[in-house]
Amino acid sequence: MTKDDFKYFVDQFEDMRVLRYKLPGFESLTLQQKKIIYYLSQAALSGRDILWDQNFRFNIEIRKTIEAILEFYPGDKTSDEYKTFLIYAKRMLFANGIHHHYSNDKLKPGFSRSYFAKLIKEIDKNNLTLTNGQTVDELISFLSPIIFDEKLFGRKVEQRAGADIVAESAINLYEDVNQKEVEAFYAGKIDPNDPHPISPGLNSKVAKKNGKVAEEVYRSGGLYGTAIDQIIMWLEKALIVAESDIRKEEIRLLIDFYRTGDLKIWDDFNMFWARDNDSEVDYINGFIETYSDPLGLKATWESVVDYIDTEATKRTRIITANAQWFEDNSPIQPQYKKEKVTGVAAKVINIAMLGGDCYPVSPLGINLPNANWIRKEIGSKSVTLANISDAYEITSQGNGFLEEFASDQAEVDRIKQYGSLSDALHTDLHECVGHASGRLRDGTDPNALKNYASPLEEARADLFALYYIMDPKMIELGLLPDEDAAKASYDTYLRNGLLTQIVRIKPGKDIEEAHMRNRSAIAHWVYEKGKAENVVEIFKIEEKSYVRINNYSRLRILFGELLKEIQRVKSEGDYEEGKRITENYGVKVDPHLHAEILSRYENLNLAPYTGFVNPMLLPVYNTDGEITDVKVEYVDDYLGQMLDYGRNYSFL
């Protein structure tokens, strides 16, 4: 099957679309590799309910009710009312809960409370999830205000300046506590002079019980224990077919972490995982990223399973082989450079399964582990997701977006010729050396930047990539053919940061998501700082706004200046300056420009958010019950997959 005849598109509804991704070369993997991918993929799917509950404490109850309607409602499914319900259901499943995955606003149902009640009442009550003797009417009375009252649990994560970002967030990482109580609870739990600090609270919920603030740890026998036990079961099967001794030890440590909830074991696992650079099959599985915590402490559950793209990995290996050169020549202050860049391992991979907070919306690159001291002493792994990027690239061809928003035909031609290559290189630089660069000043609290830590870290890595992609070293290393390819990266980044990414924002709303704040802050900072020299220009033709870069060399210098400052902010834990940069440049949206961009985008009939359905991995057994092969079946039914996961991977 070639790229041309593979059907990527699956579904589209409101601002969301769903694609498939291919598993190139999967059939050529060894049986042992296929087995471990299958077992790790089952572990990736088994933690789904954990994320749903973390996102909001009533999500699972709502989801199970909506799943029952989708499967068992006997009435008219062709009516306009049912169609609006169906769109809501698809959006909720896409978002892993009732709050939008990017805006954090509660999803608005397009149907009435009375129609919702009718849908539930016409289902056989034996197909509903009724707990503790609950009646159907009680279920309706309980769920209706949660779904329909806009102000009740209205924001999953509240980042508004001046808000109590804990008490006013619906995210289920905290319960009945406020920001001051949580900060007081964790005060003193990190010794800034400890060379190997754990990440306090990473795998727990903080709640007030009987007037006392306490942690509930995610572990077997504890919070989320039934789902974690399923993950452990599949990890134990993966352990048996692990390809190396180091892989076996890391899986043992991950199992021990899930059994105990001990964050010291989590760090031990991450050290082994970071050292394992030889296995062709890899994975992440655990409580990892803190983007959804308003305080940046607690992690949501996620998993991916992948295998190496050998040919494409040649590019990332060139980058990592020169990691020390990048560090030595970066524009950051000398005292915040790493004297020795340790263990940066980079690959281009193909995803075999997405789970938790990586499903259905996938990252494009991953750089882990997150602990600064492990990155410093052991190193990190950076990966670019080739088959996910391919799906984006192929489905974007000819959709009219570039032609609508590019400033002229020369830019269109440049992007068509070099956009795919420059985007891939930007991601590689961001993940492979951007996140791996720099160091904290001795004694700096790694959590000092609090709710601004994530956008600032993403900005730091983006700026590293932007600064170096225009460097002649890229051509010298054979990573880019000429300077025009680097210009394509700048064109895309500034157009996105100044104009087009705001299609994801509802009118009147601020930018909330960390990566979007990062891109907005960078683009608006360099635009303002270069305004006197007309480095970057926003101009209009027939009432349509465009971005033009007039001086690429000067723009690169500005990227370097901002990189230097953001590295200083991180190294010194300068919360106030990090807040100022983010709030002044990364949050607000011009309402007039916003209305224009939304109107132009709407005419293209595109969706700004993309998610994926997973392929099905089907084991083939012999008469003795042994796996003799694993086959790939590509799914083209988004709702069908979501309902299948609800039936087979719901353990909470």
Task: Give the integer Cα–Cα distance in Å for 418 and 486.
Answer: 8
Task: Please report whether residue 466 resides in a domain.
Answer: yes
Please give the average per-residue pLDDT across 467-472, as a whole number. Answer: 97
| Two tokens, residue 595 | 């209305």
- Please state, as a whole number, how many other Cβ atoms lie within 10 Å of the Cβ of residue 594: 18
What is the identity of the amino acid at 407?
S
- Judged against a pLDDT cut of 80, whether residue 148 lies above it is answered with yes
Task: Please report whether residue 111 resides in a domain.
Answer: no
Task: Please report whether residue 147 resides in a domain.
Answer: no
Q: What angle do CA 260, 283, 20 make, to 5 degrees?
A: 130
pLDDT for position 600: 96
- Judged against a pLDDT cut of 80, whether residue 5 lies above it is answered with no
pLDDT for position 537: 97
**Residue 398's pLDDT band (cuts 50, 70, 90):** confident
Site of tokens 């050396």: 433
Q: Which of 560, 562, 558 is nearest to 468 (CA)?
A: 560
Counting residues of the chain whose pLDDT is more than 70, the rounded percentage is 99
Site of tokens 């349509």: 544
pLDDT for position 447: 85
Please give the average per-residue pLDDT across 20-44, as a whole number. Answer: 97
**Residue 563 CB-half CA count within 13 A:** 28
At 204, give phi and psi (nearest 5°). Answer: -155, 160
> How far is the CA of 494 from the CAs of 149, 435, 499, 565, in angstroms?
38, 21, 8, 19
| Two tokens, residue 249 | 């030890």
Q: Which helix (H) or strand (E) holds 387?
A: helix 386-396
What is the identity of the amino acid at 131?
T
pLDDT for position 130: 93
Tell me the average pLDDT of the chain. Answer: 95
Determine how β-strand 627-633 pairs with β-strand 204-209: unpaired
Q: Which of 435, 440, 446, 457 is nearest to 323 (CA)?
A: 435
**Residue 3's pLDDT band (cuts 50, 70, 90):** very low
- Judged against a pLDDT cut of 60, whether residue 266 lies above it is answered with yes
**Residue 497 CB-half CA count within 13 A:** 27
Task: Please report whether residue 563 resides in a domain.
Answer: yes
pLDDT for position 2: 42
Q: Which of 126, 71, 118, 66 is nearest to 91 (CA)?
A: 66
Task: Please report whether residue 121 resides in a domain.
Answer: no
Cis peptide preceding 369, ω within 30 of 0: yes
Q: Which helix (H) or strand (E) holds 10?
A: strand 9-13
Task: Please report whether residue 408 resides in a domain.
Answer: yes
Q: Which of 376, 379, 380 is nearest to 337 (CA)?
A: 376
Question: Which is more confidently placed, 269 or 364?
Answer: 269
Q: Is 428 exposed, middle or buried (0-12, 13-18, 19+ CB in 10 A)?
A: buried
Q: What angle do CA 403, 404, 408 make, to 5 degrees?
A: 60
Task: Please report whether residue 465 resides in a domain.
Answer: yes
Beta bridge partner(s), residue 306? 282, 351
Residues with Cβ within 8 Å of residue 617, at least 6 apart in sequence: 37, 38, 41, 352, 353, 630, 631, 632
Please give the average per-residue pLDDT across 573-583, as a whole number. Answer: 97
Task: Please report whether residue 624 resides in a domain.
Answer: no
Identify each DSSP E strand in 448-577 by its residue range: 536-541, 544-549
User: Are 192 and 206 within 8 A, CB to CB?
Assistant: no
Task: Give the integer Cα–Cα distance in Å for 492 and 479.
Answer: 18
User: Are 386 and 421 within 8 A, CB to CB?
Assistant: no
- Judged against a pLDDT cut of 50, whether residue 333 lies above it is answered with yes
Domain range for 326: 225-609
Q: What is the pLDDT of residues 156-205, one digit of tens each?
A: 999 888 899 999 999 999 999 999 999 999 998 878 788 999 999 999 99
| Two tokens, residue 81 | 């009312």
Q: What is the pLDDT of residues 57-113, one digit of tens each?
A: 999 999 999 999 999 999 999 999 999 999 999 999 999 999 999 889 999 999 999
Task: Give the integer Cα–Cα distance in Å for 191 and 235.
Answer: 33
| Two tokens, residue 226 | 């039934």
pLDDT for position 425: 92
This model's pTM is above 0.85:
yes
pLDDT for position 4: 53
**Residue 1's pLDDT band (cuts 50, 70, 90):** very low
Please give the average per-residue pLDDT across 393-399, as a whole number. Answer: 89
Task: Give the integer Cα–Cα distance in Å for 335 and 538.
Answer: 37
Cis peptide preceding 24, ω within 30 of 0: no
How many separate domains does the chain show?
Answer: 1
The domain that holds 317 is classified in CATH as: 3.30.540.30
**Residue 343's pLDDT band (cuts 50, 70, 90):** low
Q: Which helix (H) or strand (E) holds 72?
A: helix 59-72
Task: Give the integer Cα–Cα distance in Å for 415 and 484.
Answer: 9
Q: What is the pLDDT of residues 320-330, one digit of tens each?
A: 899 999 999 99
User: Are 71 and 127 within 8 A, CB to CB?
Assistant: yes
